[in-house]
Amino acid sequence: MKQQLITGLDIGSTSMKMMVARKIASDSPLEIVAYAEEPSSGVRKGVVVNSEEAAKKIMMLKNRIESAIGKSSIDEVVVNIGGSHLFLTPSRGMVAVSRADSNISQEDIDRVLQGARSLSLPANKEVLEVYPRHFIVDGEAGIEDPIGMRGLRLEVEANAICAFSPYVRSLAETIQTADLGVADMMPSVLAAAESATTSQQRERGVALIELGAATTSVVVFEEGHILHLTVLPIGSANITHDIAIGLRTDPETAEAIKKEFGSCNPSHGKRSRTVEKTGMGSVSFSQKLLSHIIASRFQEIFQLVQKELKKAGRQGKLPSGVVLAGGGAKLPGVADLAKKEFKLAVRVGSPLEMVNAQDDPSMLVVAGLVRRAAELTDGKEYGGGDFFKKVKKVLKAFIP
C-alpha cells in the first residue's frame, strides 16, 4: 500500500489545530506524523468572521507542518464546520429503479440520496450532508443496504444536516486563501464522534457532547444512525467570564486560573490561592469558590443538554452512556458532575485506534477529521450499515 499523508484541520474559536497522519497498511491504525496548534484569529462562536485573519493562521499551521514533515507539501484538508447555525432535519427521497433487470445499483442509491437533498429550506440555508437512516424497496422498510436487491421503487428516509450557506462559503474561501483545497467539510461534533465512539456504541445508543470554547455541541446515535444533533451557543469561555467576574480579575488571568487550578470538585476545600498578574498586582481566591463558579456553569450547560436528550426521547436511556469531548472536558471532575446530571455512564473521550495520539479530549475533532480523510483516500463512501460510511459528498456546490 502506498503511504499517503492525510490532513485534518480543526478551526475553533480559541485555537486552530492541524494534524497529518499516514496509514502503513490497509488494516493498520492511522499513525500521526505531525501536529501543530495556533491561537485562533478571525473566528467567533465557531464561525469564520474575518477570512483574511483566519487564513493567516492556517498558513502558519501549514508552514509549521510542512517543515515538520520535510519535503512533503499539504494540498488539501478535511475541515470542521461549527456554530449554532447547524441543524438537523428529516428528509426523504424516492426514485424509480433504473436498470431493466430491476436490480438496485449504486447509481440508484446516489439518485435517491440526491433526491433527499431537495428540501424546502429558509433563504440562505443549504443541505450540507445527507445521512441515510434506512431504505424502502417497493414499500418494504428498514433495509440497511439495498444494493443488488430487485425492486421497482427505491425510497430513503434520511437525516439532513443543514447550515447557513454564507458561513459555509466563507469557510471554503478561507481555506482556499490559505492555498489549500477542501476535500470535505464535517460538523465538529460528528468528527469528535468518529474519533471517540465505536460502531457498537453507536448501535446500542450513545451521546457525545463536545464542550468547546464558545459552543457546546450534542449528537445522539442509536441503531448506528444519527438521532439528534444540536449546537448550543454556550461553552467553556463562559466559565472564564464567570471566573473573571467572580474573582474580580481580567479574562486573561481568569483563563490562566481556570487552566491551572480549575476543577468541578468542591471537595478541594477552602485552600487559598494567590496568582500574580503581570504589572497588575495579584488576585487571591479560595479553591472552594473557584470550584463553585465552574461547577455552576457546567450544571447550566448540562441542564441544557439534558433538555436536548429529552427532545430526542433518550433522557436516561442511552446504554453506552455519554462521551465528553473538547477542551472543556479536560477540567477535573467534569465527568463526575455530568454523571450526576444525566444519570448515565460518562467518560472523557480520547482518540481511538491512532498511533502517537495524545489522551486529550481537545484533539478529538482534528483526529476525527483525519479519520474522515483516510476514508476518502481509501475510496470509502456509502456502504450501508454504519453511520460514517455515508454518501458521496456534494460539497463542491458550496465552494466558489
Q: pLDDT of 266-311, one tens digit each?
A: 765 557 887 776 556 688 899 999 999 999 999 999 999 999 999 9
Pairwise pLDDT comparison (269 vs 33), residue with the higher score: 33
* Predicted pLDDT of residue 281: 67
> What percent of the chain has pLDDT above 70?
91
Pairwise pLDDT comparison (380 vs 102), residue with the higher score: 102
> Which CATH number does the domain 87-163 belong to among 3.40.640.10, 3.30.1490.110, 3.40.50.620, 3.90.700.10?
3.30.1490.110
- Answer whether residue 384 shows pLDDT above 60: no
* Predicted pLDDT of residue 270: 57
Cell 455530568 belongs to: 338
Question: What number is the average pLDDT over the span 54-62?
Answer: 97
Question: What number is the average pLDDT over the span 249-270?
Answer: 85
Average pLDDT, the chain: 91
- Answer whether residue 106 shows pLDDT above 50: yes
Closest residue by Cα to residue 167 from 232, 84, 234: 84
Question: What number is the average pLDDT over the span 240-265?
Answer: 93
CATH 3.30.420.40 for domain 6-84+166-187+351-398: yes
Residues with Cβ < 8 Å from 6, sequence gap 6 or more?
20, 21, 22, 23, 30, 78, 370, 373, 374, 377
Rounded to whole angstroms, the Cα distance separating 197 from 207 reads 9
* Predicted pLDDT of residue 380: 59
> Which CATH number does the domain 198-350 belong to among 3.30.420.40, 3.40.120.10, 3.30.230.30, 3.30.460.10?
3.30.420.40
Task: Indicate the pTM of the whole model.
Answer: 0.91
b/e 306-342 (16+ beta carbons within 10 angstroms → b): bebbeebebeeebebbbbbbbbbbbbebbbebbbebb
Rounded to whole angstroms, the Cα distance separating 129 from 390 reads 9
Q: Do 6-84+166-187+351-398 and 198-350 show the same overall fold?
A: yes
Q: Where along the chain do its domains lie?
A: 6-84+166-187+351-398, 87-163, 198-350
* Predicted pLDDT of residue 329: 97
250 with 226: CB under 8 angstroms? Answer: no
Question: What number is the average pLDDT over the span 86-113?
Answer: 95
